[in-house]
Structures are given as structure tokens and as C-alpha cells.
């Protein structure tokens, strides 16, 4: 199932007890909200493009086949500062993996501070 967002889209590839795998596609010069999660950690692997990642006050530039671990409660953001679509594989691990576990600290799209299920 593909889910559209203001910054691009994501597709859930697989999920099971305690995990969810997504393909996340970020459009050129777009970024996700600055956010954190209480119930899950995330592993991001860049598969196409170049990612700028903010993670607990540090900034990283990741290229294809490079990855980063985002721990529970870590303040983080994914950003695409390139001309091409950024694609990452996101592996979520935790007891609760729904979208309403997103706590937005900054959001250029003026969405609620906590994601609400539709």
C-alpha cells in the first residue's frame, strides 16, 4: 500500500510481530518533520540518492548502501537536498508501529504535532 505525504510517499513492504519494513521516497528538496517515537526504533538504509539525516543533534550525509540507527525517543529528521528522488529502506522495530507514534517537533507542512490515524 502506497501512502502519499507532502514530502513524497512510503510503501509498506512487509510487517509482522514487532517489525515493519517500508520503502520511503523523498522528493527533491523535501524533508520530513523533525520528530521522535516513543514506541519504536528505526534503521534506515539508503538505496538511491543521498540522504541528509539529523539524529540527536548530529548531522550525517548518507549515500547508497550506507545506513543509520535511530533509537527510541531520538529526535531525528530525513532530508533530500538533491535533484533526484531519495529512496531508503526503513526497518521499524518495537511493540507499537503505527503512524500515531510520530511526535512532530517541527513541521513545514503545518501538520498536527502528533500523527492522527485517518
Which CATH number belongs to the domain containing residue 55 in this structure? Answer: 2.60.120.10
State pLDDT tens for residues 82-96: 999 999 999 999 999
Question: For the chain, what is the domain count?
Answer: 1
81 by Cβ neighbours in 10 Å (0-12 / 13-18 / 19+) ranks as middle
State pLDDT tens for residues 18-69: 999 999 999 999 999 999 999 999 999 999 999 999 999 999 999 999 999 9
Residue 14: which domain range? 2-98
Q: In this structure, is residue 113 part of a structural domain? A: no
CB atoms < 10 A from the CB of 99, how many? 12
How far apart are the C-alpha atoms of 11 and 24, rounded to whole Å? 7
Task: Tell me the HSE value of 86 on the side-chain side, using a 13 A CA sphere.
Answer: 27
Amino acid at each position: 500500500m502506497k501512502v502519499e505525504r507532502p514530502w513524497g510517499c512510503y510503501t509498506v513492504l512487509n510487517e509482522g510481530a514487532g517489525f515493519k519494513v517500508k520503502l520511503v521516497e523523498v522528493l527533491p528538496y523535501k524533508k520530513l518533520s523533525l520528530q521522535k517515537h516513543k514506541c519504536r526504533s528505526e534503521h534506515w538504509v539508503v538505496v538511491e540518492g543521498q540522504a541528509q539525516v539529523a539524529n540527536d543533534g548530529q548531522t550525517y550525509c548518507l549515500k547508497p548502501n550506507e545506513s543509520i540507527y535511530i533509537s527510541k525517543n531520538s529526535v531525528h529528521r530525513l532530508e533530500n537536498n538533491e535533484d533526484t528522488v531519495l529512496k531508503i529502506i526503513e526497518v521499524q522495530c518495537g511493540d507499537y508501529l503505527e503512524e500515531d507514534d510520530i511526535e512532530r517537533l517541527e513541521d513545514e507542512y503545518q501538520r498536527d504535532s502528533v500523527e492522527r490515524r485517518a
